[in-house]
Amino acid sequence: MRKRNIAYLAVILALLATWQAPTINAAVSRLKTWSAAETLTASNLNAEFNNVLNNGEDLAWPATKAKDYNGFGLTLDADADSTLTCDTDDRCDLALAGIDLFRFDGTVATPVNGIDFIARATGSPASIQAQGSDSNVALDIRDDNGNELIIMSAVASAVNQVKITNAIANSDPIIAATGDSTNIGLNLVSKGSGAVQANGVALPLLSAANIFTANQSIVSTDAGADEGPAFSLHRDSASPAASDALGAQRFEGESSTGVKRIYGQVRGEIVDPTNTSEDGLLKYSTMVAGTVAARMIIEQGMIVGAPTGGDQAAGSINATAVFDDGVLLANIVAASQAEQETGTSTTVNVTPGTQQFHQSASKAWGHVTWVTTTPTLAAGDFNITSISDDAVGVITVTIATDLSGTDYVVIAHANEGSERQFTQIDPANKAVGTFEITILDGAGSADDPIDASFHIYGDH
């Protein structure tokens, strides 16, 4: 009879435990060992009922078995609106104020990666860290539709990262590169033909064509004497060749129908790429009658239009025509020898090579000095080959470039100090390439002077 009562008690206690805690699917039992001759009294039985009714939760702890919360919530606060519920397979919801605000979702097939929330010591930031069995587990943030907002990808042995810093009033937040390396850049990468933007405007990329819609300035604050700022257009060709076009600066506008046109251009070109003896040019082009063509070229000198001969020399200008207030200046045509000798044209120009052919120009000149009785041609003569001493007071002058005939004029002067001297030209001894000068004293006798000078006028 005693053993039967004990069995009844165990059953009753089990039923009471199940009824008391419906959110915990576990049976609570009490075990008592009876001594010999001990009597089961009403007070013993009542005490056990009271223990189950008033301390049912305590009877299950410390837990010695896993608790099954499937389909039930674990209440966390006094008003019972903060709960942890796992009523979906492989997912637990943390509700605050009665709303599921945090979900721990492992419903994906065969999950292996997750998140660690890591506290840190003083001076170090707390961390949210991806973890799992994959290599280099990434971390992404998604919207309420499950779409990716931010993907934080990982690389092995990373030491550099991005730091985002907020700011006080009237200051700008900062996105900065940081890490163990000394020099760290910040790489913003777009996809395909997409562009990196700031304030809705695409940022210019040095590796792509760009369009600037506002004025741009390049400023250097260097106080030194070197040039700067510098704008470089580098054509990095592996096979540079003569006539290769280099960088160009274009001045573009719209036509009357809205078509973009090049109205002006400055372009560099290679003339000769030979190392240490390279030559180049700048070509200035403009739009005329719907066609862009070179109008001026700078090499050693300047070429305007398309004149014959191209580049002439350093400091030269070679043009097809030159005007003065709308009047054509002889097209910069050099006078020929015949035109100079005629001396009547007003449409050609005198050059150093033809100036001496004009009637007004001296064709030759010289200065002769006598030391004792020997005449010497002084330096600084023009178009004279030599002189010869024919006799006292008589010299023959040899002209370098012969005149065209013997009807030229010789003007001579002799000096003997205080004594008057006379010169004469003997027509009998006058040829296209030589002439004779005789110096006479006041008595009309031939005499060697101190010096004598002469000029020749005539036709070559």
Mean pLDDT value across residues 122-145: 93
Is 66's pLDDT higher than 90? no
Q: Does residue 137 contact residue 130 with C-beta atoms inside 8 Å?
A: yes
Is 12's pLDDT higher than 70? no
- CA–CA distance, 450 with 206 (Å, rounded to integer): 82
| Four-point Cα dihedral 233, 235, 241, 245, nearest 10 | -50
* 245 token code pair: 């076009």
- CA–CA distance, 449 with 422 (Å, rounded to integer): 10
Q: Does residue 311 contact residue 293 with C-beta atoms inside 8 Å?
A: no
What are the sequence ranges of the domains in the chain?
Answer: 2-59, 245-320, 364-457
Q: Look at the block and give the residue holding tokens 């129908």.
A: 257
Mean pLDDT value across residues 288-304: 96
Mean pLDDT value across residues 372-400: 93
Q: Does residue 27 contact residue 19 with C-beta atoms inside 8 Å?
A: no
Work out whether the CA dihedral 123, 125, 126, 129 comes out positive or negative: negative
Strands of 4-145 (E only): list them: 73-75, 83-88, 91-96, 99-105, 113-118, 127-132, 139-142
Q: Does residue 104 contact residue 91 with C-beta atoms inside 8 Å?
A: yes
453, β-bridge pairs: 367, 413
Q: What is the pLDDT of residue 145?
A: 94
CA angle 352, 355, 360 (to 5 degrees): 155
Kindly report the number of other CB atoms within 10 A of residue 13's CB atom: 20
* 438 token code pair: 């005789």
CA separation (Å) from 248 to 52, 61, 285?
Answer: 95, 86, 11
Mean pLDDT value across residues 396-420: 90
* 214 token code pair: 């506002």
Q: What is the pLDDT of residue 59?
A: 60
**Model confidence pLDDT, tens digit, residues 346-383:** 777 778 778 888 888 899 999 999 998 899 999 989 99
Is 25's pLDDT higher than 60? no
Buried b (16+ CB within 10 A) or exposed e, 408-419: bebebebebeee
**If pLDDT is split at 50, 70 and 90, which confidence band does 345 have?**
confident
Is 332's pLDDT higher than 70? no
**If pLDDT is split at 50, 70 and 90, which confidence band does 330 have?**
low
Mean pLDDT value across residues 91-114: 93
Kindly report the number of other CB atoms within 10 A of residue 402's CB atom: 14
Most confident of 205-219, 279-293, 341-355, 360-374: 279-293
Mean pLDDT value across residues 72-94: 91
Residue, of 179 and 58, whose pLDDT is higher:
179
Q: What is the pLDDT of residue 22?
A: 41
pTM of the model: 0.47
Work out whether the CA dihedral 36, 39, 40, 44 comes out positive or negative: negative
Amino acid at 401: T
Is 61's pLDDT higher than 90? no
CA 321 to chain CA centroid, nearest Å: 40
What percent of the chain has a predicted confidence (pLDDT) above 90? 60
Three-state secondary structure call for residue 442: coil
